[in-house]
Amino acid sequence: MPGTDPLLLDEISLLLVWTAVAIYVLAFIAYAIDLARRSDLALKAKDQIVARELVTAGGGGVISSGSGAPASASSAKPRYLWARLGTVLTALGFVFHLVATVLRGVAAGRVPWSNMYEFALTGLLLIIAVYLVVLTRYDLRFLGSLMTGLAVLLLGGATLAFHVEVVPLADPLKSVWLVVHVFVASLATALFALAFGLSVVQLIQTRRERKLLDGPTDAETKRSFLRTVPNAEALESLAYRFAIVGFIFWTFTLIAGSIWANDAWGRFWGFDTKEVWTFVIWVLYAGYIHARATRGWRGTRSAWLSIIGFTAVLFNFTIVNVFFKGLHAYSGLTT
């Protein structure tokens, strides 16, 4: 935008970021209400199915719905309206988030990922984007509270703690590898975030299933959203798939980073703190994938490996970037 004040664009971008955070809060509330009501809706649908089956068995006929179509289990399928509202709000928040990120890039005259604030802005944008895209194939709306909650905490926290004025790129960042390396790393992080969310739910679901195996207890009839989500084995399998794809992208991140380091500093590897932690994350997920595939590390052990891996990703982004000095110290907080 020729003639447009970069500071004004950044202020507008910041306003849109806080608007996105506010909408994500509303989405979080909608998803939380959905989780609270899911069990009641599922039980109501189940009771309707049982009642229809009893009437059908007693009358020897087929019960028809009001439209004249035969009644079936699908006709009593619960409709999670609050989950739909949460998804709509998440998509709306994503639009504001996207525009805010684009305006930050336009204000800077470059891709918006050269410091901690911009990393968070873009990384969380991709997490929400991947979540919304995955929803078109898998019904993971039960993760909505976790995904939007993550967006609220990290995006809001990063804006409060890490926001800096638009500044020119540092010399080592003036490379096409900035676009490739950071974008792929952010995409891998988004997939790891989904795997993390599924692993957390898997642990909770596993605990519930173990209680059910102890015999007929109150756990069977307990009002819980876990009645409406896949079993622990299915959750683990899906988390594993996301982790594998994320691992592929993270491997490319390591390779691209090494090539970029050679162009910028004349060496492929230098044991810089950021480089070491990126490799540690790669080892953690490689171990997770290998252990589950060849050593039978399934169930809770597999879930904990996934959770530890994503914790290391967050540690790498926050603690390493802020408190460890090195060639990758691009937080922007000391400039």
pLDDT tens, 154-178?
Answer: 999 999 988 888 877 766 667 777 7
Instruction: Name the average pLDDT for the chain.
Output: 82
45 has pLDDT over 70: no
Q: Give the pLDDT confidence score for residue 261 in this predicted structure.
A: 77
Tokens of 251: 């491997």
Q: Residue 65 and residue 144: Cα distance in Å, rounded? A: 33
β-strand partners of 70: 64
Q: Give the pLDDT confidence score for residue 68 in this predicted structure.
A: 42
Q: Residue 194 and residue 238: Cα distance in Å, rounded? A: 9
**Residue 141 and residue 31 in contact, taking contact as beta carbons nearer than 8 Å:** yes
Q: Give the pLDDT confidence score for residue 8 in this predicted structure.
A: 86
Tokens of 103: 């305006």
271 or 106, which is more confident: 106
- When mean pLDDT is compared across 83-92, 124-133, 262-271, the lowest value belongs to 262-271
Q: Residue 300 and residue 195: Cα distance in Å, rounded? A: 14
Instruction: Write down the pTM of the prediction.
Output: 0.83
DSSP state of 71: P
Candidates 75, 85, 71, 91; CA nearest to 37 is 85
227 has pLDDT over 60: yes
Q: Residue 278 and residue 292: Cα distance in Å, rounded? A: 21
Q: Residue 292 and residue 272: Cα distance in Å, rounded? A: 30
pLDDT tens, 186-208?
Answer: 999 999 999 999 999 999 999 88
Q: Residue 233 and residue 202: Cα distance in Å, rounded? A: 8
Cα 317 to chain centroid, rounded:
15
24 or 116, which is more confident: 24
Half-sphere exposure in the Cβ direction for 152 (13 Å, CA) = 15
Tokens of 281: 């994350």
In which band, very low, low, confident or very high, does the pLDDT at 307 lie, cut at 50, 70 and 90? very high
**Residue 273 and residue 315 in contact, taking contact as beta carbons nearer than 8 Å:** no
219 has pLDDT over 70: no
In which band, very low, low, confident or very high, does the pLDDT at 326 lie, cut at 50, 70 and 90? low
331 or 170, which is more confident: 170
Q: Give the pLDDT confidence score for residue 216 in this predicted structure.
A: 54
Q: Report domain extents, the chain.
A: 169-335
What single string gives the DSSP state of each residue in 188-253?
Answer: HHHHHHHHHHHHHHHHHHHHHHHHHHT-S-HHHHS--GGGGS--HHHHHHHHHHHHHHHHHHHHHH
298 has pLDDT over 90: no
Q: Residue 190 and residue 304: Cα distance in Å, rounded? A: 18
314 has pLDDT over 80: yes
Contacts of 258 (CB under 8 A, 6+ apart): 268, 269
Percent of the chain with pLDDT strictly greater than 90: 47
Task: Tell me the backbone φ, ψ of residue 70, rounded to 5 degrees.
Answer: -60, 135
Tokens of 313: 């990703």
Q: Give the pLDDT confidence score for residue 38 in this predicted structure.
A: 80
Contacts of 90 (CB under 8 A, 6+ apart): 23, 24, 27, 128, 131, 132, 144, 147, 148
Q: Give the pLDDT confidence score for residue 272 in this predicted structure.
A: 79
